[in-house]
Structure 1
């Protein structure tokens, strides 16, 4: 039997952002052994990390990338008038680095999402929307949706992040929210949906929500209930804590007895740089808290004290927790 080739490693958007942040610090790593050691630890921790960083190096070294730069209509710094003080080659490297960071951290990595989404928010941006049927939506930070509303149906696809919905009452056209392998169906109610990886969390403030997985298993959630689809299976219904799941709508991050790693994954939607956690014990440490989201760095610092971990803020703002 002929062995099939291994499937290619496709880094997630989260990993691409981490790789970009490390790539931007190559010169610092050459001069700081401790920083280089942290990079190596990250690089070897997961095949996705190595694949993402290799993709950046390949792009950086390609002749096509240099040619593409010259054809881009970008607001870049002009070449220096006095090359004796700033050689043109150095200017070109700096300009290329700037564009590479823009492409990999924003434009290029986010392009597939932008092509799919009708509405998309940046990090720390929350947007209020009115759908064509009159439903009100609050789209959370670093989130994206596509919509399909006509006389026959009302459909919203949560592509990433989270949303809060006040659905317009229309029994003839139930509103359907799809996210990963989950489907939420309502007639008129208030609820939130969060997508984290392939896990989906639904919380209900008012009315009733039908929450189903891809196999057809489903639950009827009432006001005050919340439930998760985790590892492709519906988890038990929670009858307390629904408002905590929707705290972000009021600009707060509220969590009760959650693993630190899960809290940091949520928090990273509000912090513009990667947050790296290199402490397996701390990752499982269960924490609780209620914080204002307008200062995510302060939240990380508070969690750092609670879990007795070491926090390092690297140049550019990337956070490393040991």
Structure 2
């Protein structure tokens, strides 16, 4: 049994069918029709049902009375100038397209909008999506996906990204990293994807993070790290000023392992940075520097810590020092 709202939608749809079949064309009515369609996804389905009904019974006597709502819910009263020839000739689809300029085309869902954003090594760039959302990518990063009328689905293929998402209650946004799924309606958050690890930091609003059967709800100031060994770690606070400083070209690390520092350096270094076998990958460091200072920082690490940094024309290799 149909709900009251469905009955109303069907009645309004039948009214619109008769309006377009009348041959009238008024800009304000066309705008009202477009607004009615946009008001609910149920309206398009109701109109399509009414259109099919018209096609099936257009040559029946008293078709106007059949389609006019019997419950007097916004019924359309046939115009005096409405002719049976117009009602029957060419079908409703042709009438809609020719006399109203919108018709069935307005009912077709907009095609998915493909998203492909990427940056080169050393590049930081902000992209604006059609819904008003902004995505800032770190060096050597890529986001792809699509926007549809009902959903916004993205994948962080590599690197890191800061998402400033326009709120849309009817169109949630998801970001898939391959191991972690992040779902929001509209907020600001950061995702870093490294080998075997994904971190999600929330700058504003509310974010749901999911991995396998586990899920965590994060709010502003919360951060979570997912690893292969521990799918979702515990929610912890983070320093937004340091964690998000990469957007202005500054890398900051607090008690971070050397392997994570090297991973981030590789997004900005003009030559690949590699940890040699036996290098102290777990050495924990606290550093803050501009991406233009990578060479100086590596030279400083060589002199201050038990590591050896060797450079060639093609790469930078960090190994255990003497």
Write out per-residue CA displacement over residues 177-228 of structure 1, whole angstroms, 9 at most, x where no aligned residue: 1102111111111111111124211111111111111x22111111111111
How much has 1:302 moved relative to structure 2?
Answer: 2.5
User: Which residue does 2:166 correspond to in 1?
Assistant: 168
How much has 1:303 moved relative to structure 2?
Answer: 2.6
Q: Distance in 1 between matches of 2:277 and 2:239?
A: 28
Q: How does 1:261-280 map to 2 (within 5 A)?
A: 261-278=259-276, 280=278
- What is the aligned counterpart of 2:214 among 214, 217, 220? 217
Q: Distance in 2 between matches of 1:304 and 1:242?
A: 29
Q: Distance in 2 between matches of 1:281 and 1:319?
A: 13
How much has 1:311 moved relative to structure 2?
Answer: 1.7
How much has 1:118 moved relative to structure 2?
Answer: 1.3
Aligned partner of residue 300 in structure 1, secondary structure: helix
User: Which residue does 2:176 correspond to in 1?
Assistant: 178
Under a length normalisation based on structure 1, what TM-score does the superposition of the two structures give? Answer: 0.60
Q: Aligned pair 1:204/2:202, yes or no?
A: yes
RMSD: 1.8
Write out per-residue CA displacement over residues 93-147 of structure 1, whole angstroms, 9 at most, x where no aligned residue: xxxxxxxxxxxxxxxxxxxxxxx98122110011110112110110110001112
Write out per-residue CA displacement over residues 37-77 of structure 1, whole angstroms, 9 at most, x where no aligned residue: xxxxxxxxxxxxxxxxxxxxxxxxxxxxxxxxxxxxxxxxx
Aligned partner of residue 188 in structure 1, secondary structure: coil
Q: Distance in 1 between matches of 2:128 and 2:292?
A: 25
Q: Aligned pair 1:297/2:295, yes or no?
A: yes
How much has 1:244 moved relative to structure 2?
Answer: 2.7
Aligned partner of residue 280 in structure 1, secondary structure: coil
Moved over 4 A (4+): none
Aligned partner of residue 282 in structure 1, secondary structure: coil
How many pairs were matched up?
205
- What is the aligned counterpart of 2:191 among 190, 193, 196? 193
Q: Distance in 2 between matches of 1:261 and 1:117?
A: 31
User: Which residue does 1:321 correspond to in 2?
Assistant: 318
Q: Distance in 1 between matches of 2:252 and 2:277?
A: 23
Q: Distance in 1 between matches of 2:115 and 2:315?
A: 28
Larger CA Rg, structure 1 vs 2? 2
Answer whether contact 1:282 1:307 (CA < 8 A) is retained: no
> Taking structure 1 as reference, are residues 227 and 251 closer, same or farther at Cα in structure 2, changes over 3 Å only?
same
**What 5-or-longer segments of structure 1 have no aligned partner?**
1-115
Q: Distance in 1 between matches of 2:241 and 2:135?
A: 17
Aligned partner of residue 261 in structure 2, secondary structure: helix
How much has 1:279 moved relative to structure 2?
Answer: 5.9
